[in-house]
Amino acid sequence: MERILRSQKMAEIVLLPVRHHSPACAFHVNRAIETLRPSVILVEGPDNANSLIPVMVHEDTKAPFAIYYSYHDQSGRISEEKEHYKCYYPFLDYSPELAAFRAGKRLGIETAFIDLPYGDILAASRDGSGLLKEEEEKSNYNDDYLLSRNEYLKQLCEKTGLRSFDEFWEKYFELNGIEEPDEKWFGSLLIYCALARENTPRESMEEDGCLARERFMARRIREYGEKLAEAEGTVLVVTGGFHTPGLKALLCEEDESVVIAALSARYEAAGPGKPRKCVPAGKEAHLREGRKQQVRRPKRNVPAEKEAHLREKRKRQVRRPKRSGPAGKEAHLREKRRESRRTRERKGGDGAGKGPGRVPHALFHGSRRCPQRIRQRHALHRVLSENLGGPAGDTDALRRSCAGYDRHGREGDQAQGGIPVHLR
């Protein structure tokens, strides 16, 4: 949002930069109009369509719709072929231009288009540029190509890791745009538009008819400003963001580079700030109030000697490894297995699976919580208790005894093979 302060001969002028068909732009434009309550709202668009504004804002007109412009070059003003030219100006419910017109009707504010008539735009454009592009079958009046195709944007996308202007816009302007104040949001957009314009060759803007259109729009804005000077009104102007720095330079009668340098300096002085977390306004206020009402406990006043003693005690404590991840869990399980092995050795036997009456350790490999392993252990214990009367090293007797059981602990005809017993 860029303001040009009122003077004795001119009313206050507020310039709102927008991107066509942006929901965030439409939201901020509508809210800015509600806040400012201007005397007149001027919108970028060929002024020979002003008679259609009442139809556009009528309650029976439902978006999407488009204004269709056509021009027959009978005098050869544009080309020797004297061709027919056509152009579309589409509108959606979230188009900021349509949002401005609807807000004007709702609040009883005068509205108007201020751009060159369609035929004059064609005359100001060179062949193959602007609305005279040959590759487009349907020419679109509100194309953002000047805002979205420049060297500055290419470098910006490379630095931020984004693939296109659409991704850049979505991330930095659309997603959290509704949560930001109007001044801040329009200020950030204006800085981007100024830098995009600075990195666009002036010859390209002249060929597209951009500069001729801006001169005409600035002249119309002045007319409305002078008309409302005595009434101390406000003129609100809604145009594509690429035109806003150029319009300000023309209205203030300053060099465009000076205007862009002033905008950049203002941004650097304010600083970009930290990115805001996307929190609804109502919830944010609720959290803020909750933090105010919190009662914080005072810190316990511990004597210095006792504090030193507690610190020393904490140092001597043996801490178990954290189980925050797979590595910590594995270390914990290893320690647990070691403790279990030491407990078995204390109860009897000279090693894992080598004491009198103990089962070889290899029989118990795998998870002990698995139902299959539990059934297997029960079967082996039964075999050992019934058939191992001799010394523990009699492995031949153990193999003969296990021949009737399978790995699931089933015996007899149900068995599908002997238990795989691996003895040392």
How would DSSP label each residue in 143-212? Answer: --HHHHSSHHHHHHHHHHT-SSHHHHHIIIIISSGGGS-HHHHHHHHHHHHHHHHHTS-HHHHHHTTHHH
Q: What is the mean pLDDT of the chain?
A: 75
Q: What pLDDT does 273 receive?
A: 44
pLDDT in tens, 137-190: 456 666 777 777 777 788 888 888 888 888 888 888 888 778 888 888 898 888
Mean pLDDT of 131-139: 55
Residue 273 CA: distances (Å) to CA of 176, 196, 268, 269, 276: 14, 21, 10, 11, 9
* Residue 258 pLDDT class (50, 70, 90 cuts): confident
Mean pLDDT of 42-65: 92
* Residue 391 pLDDT class (50, 70, 90 cuts): very low
422 beta partners: none
Which tokens belong to 319? 């801490």
Which tokens belong to 390? 């001799």
Q: What pLDDT does 323 receive?
A: 52
Using CA atoms, how far apart are residues 92 and 61, in angstroms rounded to an integer?
Answer: 11
Q: What pLDDT does 377 receive?
A: 67
Q: Are strands 110-115 and 40-46 parallel, antiparallel or unpaired?
A: parallel
35-39, 139-143, 290-294, 417-421: which range is least confident on average? 417-421
Mean pLDDT of 400-410: 51
Using CA atoms, how far apart are residues 246 and 249, in angstroms rounded to an integer?
Answer: 5
Q: What pLDDT does 325 receive?
A: 55
Q: Which letter, b or e, does each residue of 263-284 get, where b requires 16 or more Cβ atoms within 10 Å of its Cβ?
A: beeebeeeeeeeeeeeeeeeee
pLDDT at 365 over 50: no
State the Cα angle at 260 between 116 and 184, rounded to 5°: 90
- Reference 1, options 259, 254, 181, 150; nearest CA is 181
Q: What pLDDT does 65 receive?
A: 92
Structural contact between residues 388 and 397, judged by C-beta atoms closer than 8 angstroms: yes
pLDDT at 387 over 80: no
Please return the burial class of 417, using the count of CB atoms within 10 Å of its CB with bins 0-12, 13-18 and 19+. Answer: exposed
Using CA atoms, how far apart are residues 219 and 173, in angstroms rounded to an integer?
Answer: 31
Q: What pLDDT does 347 receive?
A: 66
Mean pLDDT of 368-392: 62
Residue 281 CA: distances (Å) to CA of 19, 183, 273, 284, 285: 24, 17, 19, 5, 6
pLDDT at 70 over 60: yes
Q: What is the DSSP letter of 388?
A: -
Using CA atoms, how far apart are residues 393 and 424, in angstroms rounded to an integer?
Answer: 9
Sign of CA dihedral 86, 216, 100, 184: positive
- Reference 101, options 66, 52, 64; nearest CA is 52
Using CA atoms, how far apart are residues 279 and 276, in angstroms rounded to an integer?
Answer: 8
Q: What is the DSSP letter of 59?
A: T
Q: What is the pTM of this model?
A: 0.60
70 beta partners: 86
Using CA atoms, how far apart are residues 413 and 424, in angstroms rounded to an integer?
Answer: 29
Q: What pLDDT does 5 receive?
A: 72
44 beta partners: none
- Residue 184: which residues within 8 A CB-CB, separation 6 or more? none
16-30, 192-206, 280-294, 299-313: which range is least confident on average? 280-294
Structural contact between residues 121 and 93, judged by C-beta atoms closer than 8 angstroms: no
* Residue 287 pLDDT class (50, 70, 90 cuts): low
Using CA atoms, how far apart are residues 119 and 85, in angstroms rounded to an integer?
Answer: 9
Position with higher pLDDT, 217 vs 132: 217
- Please state the domain extents for the chain: 2-273, 361-424
Please return the burial class of 111, using the count of CB atoms within 10 Å of its CB with bins 0-12, 13-18 and 19+. Answer: buried
Residue 373 CA: distances (Å) to CA of 376, 399, 402: 5, 19, 15
Q: Are strands 65-72 and 84-91 parallel, antiparallel or unpaired?
A: antiparallel
* Residue 108 pLDDT class (50, 70, 90 cuts): very high
Position with higher pLDDT, 419 vs 410: 410
Single-letter code of the amino acid located at 381: H
Structural contact between residues 168 and 158, judged by C-beta atoms closer than 8 angstroms: no
Q: How many residues does the chain have?
A: 424
59-68, 72-81, 414-423: which range is least confident on average? 414-423
